[in-house]
């Protein structure tokens, strides 16, 4: 007899359809008894008598944040949630408090973020953003070349990585083929792992003072809100680039704006802001030395299929009694984004 499974999502959620495409859904249907309706806090009571024995749940972005009491009432036999997306901070704790395993596709979602970030760092080290803008605006070929010559390129550049979780480590490993020096700020990174990654552990002051490009991957936690502020941005080198694909709340944006205005040869590339989307009157949209992208570093378009596939593979491991690769632990909630 197949284990009973449900989707946790708003009715007609396009996110579910994107993450669990036709092929993935067919593979799931062959292995589990998949309930036809999507379940959420608003309709759980209507389906309560038919989902009481649900053992497995699948979800993605937009999952309903159930309370422990609601989980006990509607899903008393739930054992595991497969989440085809990255961060589980918003919903996971009530499930885990009831001994429900939470499996995240963070590893799948990390891949495009790593690719995006590494690409931006390599471009930043060559002065791509300033040189391209100047050449287009002025038509001055030689002047644009001189701008890029004031950057280190990707041989000998010093790069600062803030946070060495899965994404930060992936960026480090991707950049390791280049002759660059990588400094890392991460209080949770063991010295032995730092040595294995061939990076130097240091503090934020050191990184913002000495690095050519600085990339933020710190976990999105109360302790990291506003952690990047005036004392750091004011130290940035004249040609330094700050890249944020982490969370906007970690940046005191007024301090970053001031530092960018005072030294317009500095550059910021922001894939996230606080609030998000960026406000219509934000200086980020007016400053020429700021590149703002609409949160595109993570899985987009066909990349989303990878997350559903990862969760289908994890479900197969679960059903066959194999060890799971991407289970979230209570300890991980204190350090991951």
Kindly state the helix (H) or strand (E) to which residue 136 belongs, with its residue range: helix 128-138
Tens-place pLDDT, residues 195-214 = 999 999 999 999 999 999 99
281 in the same domain as 184: yes
- Using the predicted structure, report yes or no on whether residue 280 has a pLDDT greater than 80: yes
Residue 208 lies in a domain: yes
Residue 136 lies in a domain: no
Phi, psi dihedrals of residue 56, rounded to the nearest 5°:
-125, 140
Q: Give the structural domain span for 40.
A: 4-108+301-334
Confidence of residue 336 (pLDDT cuts 50, 70, 90): low
Predicted local distance difference test score (pLDDT) of residue 312: 97
Distance CA 29, CA 316 (A): 12
Tens-place pLDDT, residues 175-197 = 999 999 999 999 999 999 999 99
**H helix and E strand count, the chain:** 14, 12
249 in the same domain as 283: yes
Nearest 5°: the CA angle 135, 150, 130 is 35
Tens-place pLDDT, residues 15-69 = 998 999 999 999 999 999 999 999 999 999 999 999 999 999 999 998 988 999 9
188 in the same domain as 286: yes
pTM: 0.87
Residue 132 lies in a domain: no
CB-CB contact of 87 with 105 (8 Å) = no
Confidence of residue 334 (pLDDT cuts 50, 70, 90): confident
Nearest to 299 by CA among 291, 309, 289, 290: 309
Q: Which residues contact 298 (CB under 8 A, 6 or more apart)?
A: 86, 109, 112, 113
Predicted local distance difference test score (pLDDT) of residue 337: 64
Q: Which residues contact 234 (CB under 8 A, 6 or more apart)?
A: 255, 259, 262
194 in the same domain as 165: yes
pLDDT average, residue stretch 103-120: 96
281 in the same domain as 162: yes
216 in the same domain as 94: no
Residue 225 lies in a domain: yes
328 in the same domain as 241: no
For the record, the structure tokens of 119 come out as 């690409």
Tens-place pLDDT, residues 210-251 = 999 999 999 888 899 999 999 999 999 999 999 999 999 999
176 in the same domain as 240: yes
Tally the domains of the chain.
2
Nearest 5°: the CA angle 114, 174, 112 is 20
Residue 126 lies in a domain: no
The owner of tokens 């989707």 is 7
Helices 303-319 & 22-29, crossing angle to 10 degrees? Answer: 10
Q: Give me the active site residues, please.
A: 247, 295
287 in the same domain as 161: yes
Q: What CATH number does residue 195 fall under?
A: 3.40.50.720
195 in the same domain as 216: yes
184 in the same domain as 103: no
């Amino acid at each position: 007899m197949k284990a009973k499974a449900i989707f946790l999502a708003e009715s007609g959620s396009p996110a579910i359809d994107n993450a669990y495409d036709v092929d993935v859904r067919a593979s799931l249907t062959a292995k589990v008894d998949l309930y036809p309706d999507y379940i959420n806090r608003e309709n759980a009571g209507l389906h309560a008598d038919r989902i009481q024995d649900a053992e497995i749940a699948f979800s993605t972005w937009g999952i309903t944040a159930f309370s422990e009491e609601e989980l006990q009432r509607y899903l008393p036999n739930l054992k595991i949630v497969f989440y085809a997306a990255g961060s589980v901070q918003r919903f996971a704790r009530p499930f885990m408090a009831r001994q429900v395993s939470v499996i995240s596709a963070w590893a799948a979602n990390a891949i495009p973020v790593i690719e995006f970030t590494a690409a931006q760092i390599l471009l930043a080290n060559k002065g791509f953003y300033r040189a391209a803008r100047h050449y287009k605006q002025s038509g001055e070929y030689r002047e644009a070349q001189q701008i890029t010559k004031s950057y280190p390129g990707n041989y000998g550049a010093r790069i600062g990585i803030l946070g060495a979780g899965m994404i930060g480590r992936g960026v480090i490993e991707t950049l390791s083929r280049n002759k660059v020096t990588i400094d890392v700020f991460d209080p949770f990174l063991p010295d032995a792992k730092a040595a294995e990654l061939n990076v130097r552990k240091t503090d934020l002051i050191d990184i913002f003072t000495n690095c050519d490009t600085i990339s933020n991957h710190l976990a999105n936690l109360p302790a990291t809100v506003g952690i990047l502020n005036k004392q750091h941005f004011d130290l940035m080198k004249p040609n330094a680039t700050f890249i944020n694909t982490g969370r906007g709340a970690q940046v005191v944006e007024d301090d970053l704006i001031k530092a960018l205005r005072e030294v317009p040869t500095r550059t910021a590339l922001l894939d996230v802001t606080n609030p998000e989307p960026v406000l219509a009157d934000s200086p980020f949209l007016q400053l020429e030395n700021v590149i703002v992208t609409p949160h595109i570093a993570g899985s987009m378009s066909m990349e989303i299929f990878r997350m559903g596939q990862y969760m289908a593979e994890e479900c197969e491991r679960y059903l066959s009694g194999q060890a799971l690769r991407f289970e979230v632990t209570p300890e991980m909630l204190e350090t991951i984004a």
